[in-house]
Structure 1
C-alpha cells in the first residue's frame, strides 16, 4: 500500500511539473522564549510555560501565471493595518500582487496577545 501511495505521488508530481504547477510549504515555530500575556479568556493572564509550540505556516501555489500565498498564524488575530503592511512588504519584495497573499490566524485563545 505504501508503494502504491508513493508511486501515485511521484506520478502526480510529474504531471504537475509538466503543467507548470508549483507548490511549496513551510512551517516555522513562533513560540516566544519568555513569559507573555495570553490572549482571550480574561485580562492579565500571563503564561506559566509552554504546553505546545505555536507556528506560522505558509503554502505557496502557482500555475505558472497566477501565484498564491496562504499564511496561517497560531495567534488570536492581527490588526488589519498589520496584515495590510505585511502584504505590501511581501508583495514588493517578491514581485507579487497584494491580492495574491492571504494571511489568517487560528484564533488561539491561549497564545500570545
Structure 2
C-alpha cells in the first residue's frame, strides 16, 4: 500500500511551547494528531560548542499536501533560530487510521 501521509518531527524548548504549537496545527487542520513527548535530552553542536538541553518532542501526523504548510507554521511559531524539522514518508499502516486522518484533515 502506498500512502500520502507524513510524520514530521520537531523539538520545542518546553512543554508549553510544544502544546501551543500542537493545538495550533490541529486547530488549523494541518495535523490530524500531534504526540507530545514531554522530555527528551538533546546533545548537539551549537556555535562551535557541544551543548545539551532538555526539550519536548513533537510527532506530527499529516497528509503530504499539508506538509509545506506544517513546516511554515512550525517556523513561524518556533522560538528556536534553527528548529529541527524532519519529515518521514509513511509507507504503510492501519488503513482505518488513514481514513480517519482523511476525514479530520478535509
**TM-score, reference length from structure 1:** 0.32
Q: Which has the higher contact order (CA 8 A, sep 6+)?
A: 2
| Structure with the higher fraction of residues in strand conformation | 2
**TM-score, reference length from structure 2:** 0.33
